[in-house]
Amino acid sequence: MQSQLDKVKDEVTERIHKLFMTKFGGNKLQFAKASGCNEKTIRLLFDEGQGMTLNLLFKLAFALDVTPSELLDGLSLKTSSKK
C-alpha cells in the first residue's frame, strides 16, 4: 500500500510542478504567496519530495486556478482482495 501512496504523491506533485512552471515560471516565492504558505513549504514539496496535507493541496490548487479534483483525476489505489 505504501508504494501505491508514494506513486500517487509523486504524480500529484509532478502535476502541481508542471502547472507551477507554466503559471509562475519557476518562482517559488510568488507561488508560495499566491497559495498562502511559505517558500520553504514549496521547496520541501518540490526539492525534498515531502508529502502534503489536504489543506495544502487545496491552497496549491487555488493558486494554480484548478480544482483539487483536477490534480487527482485518474489516480487511485488498488484495493486488497484480502478480507
Question: For position 4, what pLDDT does the model report?
Answer: 85
CATH code of the domain in which 56 resides = 1.10.260.40
Asked whether the beta carbons of 17 and 23 are under 8 A apart, the reply is no
Q: Mind spelling out the 3-state secondary structure of 18-78?
A: HHHHHHHCCCHHHHHHHHCCCHHHHHHHHHCCCCCCHHHHHHHHHHCCCCHHHHHCCCCCC
Q: Is the pLDDT of residue 83 over 90?
A: no
Residue 79 lies inside a defined structural domain of this protein: no
Residue 51 lies inside a defined structural domain of this protein: yes
Residue 40 lies inside a defined structural domain of this protein: yes
Residue 64 lies inside a defined structural domain of this protein: yes
**Structural domain that includes position 7:** 2-72
Give one word for 49, left, alpha or beta, with left for phi > 0 and alpha for psi -120 to 50.
Answer: left
Q: Count structural domains, the chain.
A: 1
**24-69: pLDDT as tens digits:** 999 999 999 999 999 999 999 999 889 899 999 999 999 999 999 9
Residue 81 lies inside a defined structural domain of this protein: no
Question: For position 71, what pLDDT does the model report?
Answer: 96
Question: For position 75, what pLDDT does the model report?
Answer: 86
Residue 80 lies inside a defined structural domain of this protein: no
